[in-house]
Copies of this chain bind each other. A is one copy, B any other.
Amino acid sequence: MSLTESKPDAAAKAASLSARSLAVLSVAARNDALTAMHDALLANKEPILAANARDMARATSASESGHLSQAVLKRLDLSRPGKYDDMLQGILDVRGLDDPVGKCDLRTLLDDGLELERVSCPIGVLLIIFEARPEVIANIAALAIKSGNAAILKGGKESSDSFETIAKVIGSALEKTQVPNAAIQLVKTRDVIDQLLGLDQYIDLVIPRGGNELVRYVKEHTKIPVLGHADGLCSVYLHRDADKDTAVRVVVDSKCDYPAACNAAETLLVHEAALTTILPAVAEALFAKGVSLRCDEKSMEALKKALSPTSAALVQGSTDKDYDTEFLDLIMAVKTVPGTTVDSTDDASLDMAVAHINTHGSKHTDCIVTSSDESAEKFMSSIDAAGVYWNASTRFADGMRYGFGTEVGISTNKIHSRGPVGLEGLTIYKYKLRGHGQTAGEYGEGSGKRRYKHQNLAI
């Protein structure tokens, strides 16, 4: 690992060359490197937290003078209870995962003595651009090394002291391992993002970790493929036969568990028949959490009638723009899906909900609350998103929750092929999640929290 002060092209070229040797390192050697990283970060907790405190001091005064948001401040703080330990545990979790390199998923005898195999291998060189979270450096370095990819890490100015200190610690730890020195490059020079984004001869994939302004900027300024998502405009649709309790649990968790997250819900679609039977209870529960609702005419009218005058006063009218907005805050846009009260699955309404989400959503994660198998399956097949959920909070869209250990980010990309591309190369997967109203907030390490089972099932 080297700390590059300047010359991003030299860093990228070196990373590209070292990627070849990293790609053929044994999994034992890659795991040893993760152990070394973990032990060094554990041993150097004190100087790292001291560096983080300096970043925090600068950020706090920037925040006080209104130049930095509270959210960034919170993300920057490595001293928050459990955060440092989580970072350390994350490295061990990644170490414990199966080797993703060298997996064969297709093997064909083309003729006697002529065998074809498809085997997984690293991508090459990743460029990861962060904003505030300093712990992401350790996570991403662990994921990159485990997967045999070289990585160029470019930190943000808010976390510069933390970044440099963590980088030095990881760097000297890796020097004693078989991971090539140039395989993890840390670029801390400012104003080099544009240069790095131009190095498509060396860099295979850019992963921006930050707000949507960063992601958009990266997408506009590079020809290198970008993995990630600019927006997380997730929706929850309450179908006419939604269970009320399930609806309340799913909507409240989707909106309130962590409103600034990309997998928080922004839009609530409500079947016309559910305006009076389900929406009022959902609205009361959201109001209790401090959520503002921006409603279309029909849903506003229904709520004004059903709620107490105090609650009814909190209902606001919506504009068209609200249905295309990622609020990242305790605000939710509510829209009525026209429908009948006739006892049927009401496919026409379902189609309208699907059409709204496919048009206004960001293909991230969308959820239906319904008691009907058939409606749920239709929704999950028709929605064009990376995650399509039935009776479960959109907040489950997360690598740790899916049992992947950790993640480099959540991608709304849709392509994934190399070599001769046949039918299989023209498809992408989606994650289908079927639940019974579970909320992500129920899960965690604390007492009274539920634990994930992450048990493999037969396919």
Contacts and interface: CB of A to CB of B under 8 A. Distances in A.
A9 interface: no
A455 interface: yes
A148 B423 CA distance: 10
Interface in A396-427: 396-399, 401-427
A50 interface: no
A338 interface: no
Interface stretch (A59-67, A110-118, A175-183): A110-118
A109 to B, nearest CB: 5
Contacts of A378: 24
Interface in A427-459: 427-436, 438, 443, 450, 452-459
Contacts of A397: 419-420
A117 B432 contact: yes
A417 B415 CA distance: 7
A96 to B, nearest CB: 11
Interface in A94-131: 94, 97-98, 100-101, 103-124, 126
A319 interface: no
A433 B119 CA distance: 11
Nearest to A398: B420
B417 A411 contact: yes
Contacts of A404: 420, 422-424
A114 B433 contact: yes
A254 interface: no
Contacts of A108: 402-403, 454-457
A68 to B, nearest CB: 28
Interface stretch (A159-167, A267-275, A326-334, A382-390): A382-390
A215 B73 CA distance: 45
Interface centre among A103, A109, A405, A436 (most CB of B within 10 A): A109
A154 interface: no
Nearest to A200: B219
A358 interface: yes
Interface stretch (A79-87, A139-147, A185-193, A236-244): A139-147
A116 B103 CA distance: 22
Contacts of A123: 414-415, 426-428
Contacts of A419: 386-387, 397, 402, 410-411, 429-431
Contacts of A427: 100-101, 103, 120-123, 147-148
A104 to B, nearest CB: 6
Contacts of A104: 459
B408 A421 contact: yes
A120 B104 CA distance: 18
Which 10 pairs from chain A and chain B are nearest by CB?
A416-B416, A404-B422, A147-B426, A399-B420, A386-B419, A100-B423, A120-B427, A117-B432, A225-B415, A114-B435
Interface of A: 19-20, 23-24, 94, 97-98, 100-101, 103-124, 126, 143-144, 146-149, 204-205, 219-220, 223, 225, 227, 354-355, 358, 378, 381-382, 384, 386-387, 392, 396-399, 401-436, 438, 443, 450, 452-459
Given A114-B392, A148-B427, A420-B431, 11 more contacts: A94-B423, A101-B427, A110-B433, A111-B438, A119-B429, A143-B426, A220-B223, A402-B422, A408-B425, A411-B418, A411-B425
